[in-house]
Structure 1
Amino acid sequence: MARIRSVHPGLSTDEAYMAMSAYAKAAWPTLWTECDDSGIFEWKPLVLKARLLPADAVDFETIMEEWVRLGAVRKLTLDGRSYGAVRNFCRFQRPKKPNYRDLLPDEFRTYVGLKPAEFGTSSELSPQMEKEREKEEEREERTPVVESPPRAKTYAFAARHIRLNDDDFKRWSESFPHLELRAELESLDAWAGEQGKNWFKAVSGALAKRERLAADAARRSRDGPSQALDPRLA
């Protein structure tokens, strides 16, 4: 009889799952509904195909062999009948009143993720263990997920609209050596806000223009006033 099972969010990044073919991926979570509480299912490819992929023309035995090859399933024999065991099934499925198989070999108990405390001969958990499991599930449901607050960004220059990180500020300082960069940025800040998303490119262009003017002024100051040519020598 099919059972309700849960899907862990980490399934999509499981290495075996990512390596599965499309049909194997599609049938994988629904296979769990055919497993008992120990993660064991009957090895009947034809029956499983009819239950899991009834509308698809696929060879289900090939899919099951693929699961075995990827290490997601192991085949075993119990009382002369063939079964499959799902890796780590019991780590992620938590039925409130589980019925675990007593005669499952130890190596397969470990494979399906049964804990040592669950290796006992009883097919059900003791009332005390059952209460502890229910309490654990309630704690997990009630415990809020606390996310770390995002780290505040640090800037070498920060005004209302213009904000530069260390690399950009250093690059502009080297590109515009004739400017007092902080003072220029402060004077351009309101104008930068009018440029919207293009403020970075616009401010860079404005600084480049001011740099050329400042460089020309510095060169004239260094060279002194130009001497007018004597008209007689022209």
Structure 2
Amino acid sequence: MSRIRTIKPEFFKHEGLFDAEQETGLPIRLAFAGLWTQCDREGRFAWRPRQLKVDIFPYDEVDFSRVLDALATRGFIVKYACQGREFGYIPSWHRHQVVNNREKASELPDPTEIVEVSDASATRGARVEHASHKEGKGKEGEYTPEASSGPSPKKPKTLTYSQAFEDFWKAYPRHPNMSKSDAFKEWGKLADDDHAKCMAAIPGYIAHLKENTWLQAKHADGFLKHRKFDGFCDAGNGNVDPEEQWQKRLSYARQNGRWSSKDWGPAPHLPGCAVPASLLEPSDGSGWAEWVRAA
């Protein structure tokens, strides 16, 4: 059953949701807001992608399983299972929703057993594998935990992080709902030289965030996966060569067909571009409009 929910003006400026849309090509923001209308008063919902798609995107060709996975891997929702059924909940629910007192109590299992990652300062735990059981009788067709006698789920394993990654995680600026395990996966895909670049980029990236106070730190996994550190490797150390920094950014854009307008300003084919004219090539003119995907 769909319900009326609240949406704040700040929602439309949420950088993490925007980045998720750019990375996945999925309608993440509208899907997340639509998902609120399917949650009960505790922010819980049945993990039924097909039904959720019908309720939220009845006229669109969208793979809602991918939408849910994208939201889950970025910490906006958490998936858990109880006695053979899958559910989800929104960790930030009670910070943003004021529920009518007349709305009936949740009938879905309470996700109380959450396995924390090894770093106690992490902003969220790992995915929930199962939930505690509440005793009680339900009406016919309702979820009743005592009616099932399936095998006990296995306890998830705790990841062991390398010291180099721990140093990166400790130094990286915080972002709400940032996943340490997702960041560690992307860290493992990088070479040792890139690990050093990541650490060298953090001071410059932090300085960039302080100068542009409207920006929010990116999820660490996105910072690593999309090599955002390439544009900040030499920043913040007092020995920055502006032309060398722009050369690195141009090299990244030419190789990946992606220009980070939020970090670097307008692309070369747009008014207000800050790239020194001496570094631009003929192919960096209007042709960029055809193949550079702004981010």
TM-score, shorter chain, exceeding 0.5: no
The TM-score with structure 1 as length reference comes to 0.43
The TM-score with structure 2 as length reference comes to 0.34
The structure number with the bigger radius of gyration is: 1
